[in-house]
Structure 1
């Protein structure tokens, strides 16, 4: 029989030793064991107390360390230390179908490890054989049960069934079919060239598909590119410009580095190390999450990807601190997590995929200037302003009147010990990150562009086998890459057809008073970007704003980088939940149960205001840099 650690020792040590000898978990990777340790607790049961109750939702698994229990089934099998119960938690399906098949009662005082459903499902998703082994153990006991649980009665059909084709979608498709034809016809009547008229019709179709959310976000620009090629509106080298631009290699390399940092466990280890080193106070708990998000922003061009990595850490910290749901402290921890994933998106070139797409739209000489650290240093006023405001709020607001809660440092130390020494993959991930970071900051030393440096890192990881075929297929966001590169080709098509010059020619007489007046252009950029974001998702809204504002800004004497940066900064302004997919992601993950929504939205409004104020405050700094 497998031996287990006595419950008299510290919980973290007991759980860590038990996991390392558990038949189901012994072969997990050190990273998976460390994460499982964070989701496990010691639970005690008195004699005759129920450990599990039949027909209740299976939301946790128990591993008996001390004592004995009995199944309340036909043959009343007795359970001893090292026996696991609650394997039903490994089954798939909604909670109403995931039930315990029999009750279990304690014969003596029982000490057991409790592991929650969410942590086990995350591991079972990546290791299907773990689910199979657990369910086979459950199947071996089924003969001892009086009867399997009855399947849930299907719900009665609603009195009025929802139409198979929603009215909103029907309206969207009708508008998408009819309105582009009207735009095409009107353009011809106004004596626009036939090629330009067809393109504007296609462009209208793309925008309408985004507004009505008819299909996935990345598909409409791809449809436009294929249509452009099919009717030969522009040469292939123009329509497919993005697919052989430096942005393609930059995106591939950045996604590969971020994926390796996550899969190797380096990012998780760094967060645990940060929690150990920082003071155990509420401000530093919040700061750790925000700083971790800032670090990820350097190499992870997706706020949703950063949030996916930070959510487990937030949940572990929130659970460890035992914060009261919707309390000021719990709300502050949620705000610091969300802000860490999103606040620094305009500050770093590689923090937002739309930054990379807009970067490729700037004139070549401007791209040469801003490919390294110049983007960050040019945004320094905004970076310092947003950081100062955020950390001031994290330190001075939402404090508890009671004794601050502390983190279980012994468990965090044990997690780091379970992970062991840095693995080879972690060393390589750290080296790749440092090479990319230093190379981007010092292009004058190696006389190469960040995109080619990113490509060098990518092929090195592939050649070493650290980023294999499966990772290349599954861990690179190919839909987002096709989305951005298609938009690049559409932007080049606008320039090729002369539509940017035509657009400015029609409105130049009404904007002449704005010539080289940056403060007025900031207002224009705010109105255009925020107006588009009311209807369009973040990436599409920012790219469309850049498409409109970039040629206008050039004609008005505004530096192209300032135009792109303002679009990036203002595209992060949002007022309604539907405007921010990262917020919806956090809510769907259960974060909304822990924060007070009014507090969260008030802080978001303050950040919106700060973005506008800091844009104006940056004008003297940009003039000093010679960007105007």
Structure 2
């Protein structure tokens, strides 16, 4: 590891060469999607399937093939779905398809990207991370604990898993460089990187705005399941499970990859203090970012009291837009529009996903499909408790097949909502429990950009990651199951 590598903030993820299977999927994705759509459109409708439902299933299935095989960017697939839904008659009113870009959740995503840009540009996140490590990380084990805590704290302020990994990796590399840790040999480096990517994932599951996938899931739950989940509802339901899982798996990680107290850690602290001092005094941009983030969190946390305090309620989405506005206002904020790294392709993808999913739900296509699955697997013979356990574990390990969180959310959450309705279960807690598993994309490097970023450090192998992840996912699913049967009830879910 060179000094230049540390100064630059770590390696960039290596360009992943496409394997034969992945190349084949890209090559045949479009023909397969066309065949699937035509077969479903032209086949005789099964008994109980309305024409609009059949058409919505066809469009959704074709989009699903393209989203998974990615022969074209996922946002282009969404545009195609939005265009086709009213054209083929899957929806009667084109507003159902074209109006999704105006959903509240889309505005929440836009604002989240603005907040992320503000956090990165102001250097507030880097300063906070370096201060935490130098203040409290006096030993290797305590440093690992501090790094986990930083990941959880940043989840409230940086609504991007990749941004947080990009922020944390350079700090870890500085630590290990000064500690003379050798990539591939250092157990401290191995456990630090593995717990870093896991803390990123688990912290994300605890905060609704920590990733766009959570926001999309809430949109489905509120739109299709009749829920009214807000920022604090998600936080109280999910964060305890995330913390419990992290504590258990942290201790297991120290057993799997035992580290010894060796070397003089004071030298490491001196170097990190030097990095912190390079940031100089608290800048105006950092002060502005701090005020905006504190205001945002306070508004999110006190949503239940707004009516009594102000005479009106400020919703989660409105709070996010207020925060984005403050970041962008001349003289008030620290960003110009060109600095806001808003991923419009993700907005278009989400809009198409909502359009296809809502068309499937409103036409009755989702209920029909889930009914067939229930009959085929015999799920209807299970009691509701067993159904919940099966759903949570299926959702947890679904990342082994679908590597995109947003695609998994789009496929699974509406399906689980429809399943719950079919079986007479309350769809809100079931879909919420399933959504809490969506960020556990921790088993292999390609399963998320965060994994790839940490894997690029060369401190751990794929076998190391799989070994740790299998345990973590099982514990995570078990804790969420326990929360579903106990904690959710206490919360009134």
Match of 1:172 in 2: 29
Match of 1:498 in 2: 364
CA 1:585–1:227 in 2, change beyond 3 Å: closer, same or farther?
farther
Relative to the length of structure 2, the TM-score reads: 0.85
CA offset at residue 442 of structure 1?
A: 0.9
**In structure 1, how many angstroms separate the alpha carbons of the residues matched to 2:372 and 2:487?**
32
Contact 2:225 2:417 in 1 (8 A): no
CA offset at residue 274 of structure 1?
A: 0.6
CA 1:613–1:551 in 2, change beyond 3 Å: closer, same or farther?
same
CA 1:461–1:121 in 2, change beyond 3 Å: closer, same or farther?
closer
Match of 1:612 in 2: 477
Match of 1:97 in 2: none
| 1:242 to 2:85 alignment | no
Residue 487 of structure 1 is aligned with which of 347, 353, 356?
A: 353
| 1:552 to 2:419 alignment | yes
Contact 2:56 2:365 in 1 (8 A): no
Contact 2:129 2:150 in 1 (8 A): yes
Q: Deviations over 1:322-381 (max 9, x none)?
A: 112222111011112212221222221112211101111123698874313121212254
Match of 1:452 in 2: 318
CA 1:559–1:349 in 2, change beyond 3 Å: closer, same or farther?
farther
| 1:280 to 2:138 alignment | yes
CA offset at residue 178 of structure 1?
A: 1.5
Residue 321 of structure 1 is aligned with which of 179, 182, 196?
A: 179
Relative to the length of structure 1, the TM-score reads: 0.68
Output the aligned Cα RMSD: 3.0
Match of 2:56 in 1: 199
Q: Answer with 1 or 2: which has the greater Rg.
A: 1
Match of 2:69 in 1: 212
Q: Deviations over 1:538-586 (max 9, x none)?
A: 2201221001111221343434332233322333256444433432343
Runs of at least 5 residues in structure 1 that lack an aligned partner in the other structure: 1-38, 40-59, 61-114, 123-161
CA offset at residue 252 of structure 1?
A: 1.8
Q: Which has the larger helix fraction? A: 2
Contact 1:307 1:582 in 2 (8 A): yes
**In structure 2, how many angstroms separate the alpha carbons of the residues matched to 1:171 and 1:364?**
34
CA offset at residue 262 of structure 1?
A: 1.0
CA offset at residue 528 of structure 1?
A: 5.9
Contact 2:183 2:189 in 1 (8 A): yes
Match of 2:342 in 1: 476
CA offset at residue 452 of structure 1?
A: 0.4
CA offset at residue 404 of structure 1?
A: 4.0
Contact 1:518 1:558 in 2 (8 A): no
| Paired residues, number | 469
Residue 259 of structure 1 is aligned with which of 117, 124, 133?
A: 117
**In structure 1, how many angstroms separate the alpha carbons of the residues matched to 2:286 and 2:9?**
25
CA offset at residue 596 of structure 1?
A: 4.0
CA 1:302–1:413 in 2, change beyond 3 Å: closer, same or farther?
closer
What does residue range 356-435 of structure 1 map to in structure 2 within 5 Å?
356-363=215-222, 369-393=228-252, 398-401=257-260, 403-406=262-265, 407-435=267-295
**In structure 2, how many angstroms separate the alpha carbons of the residues matched to 1:578 and 1:301?**
21
CA offset at residue 291 of structure 1?
A: 1.7
**In structure 2, how many angstroms separate the alpha carbons of the residues matched to 1:296 and 1:431?**
15
Runs of at least 5 residues in structure 2 that lack an aligned partner in the other structure: 11-18, 307-312
Bigger RCO (CA 8 Å, 6+ sep): 2
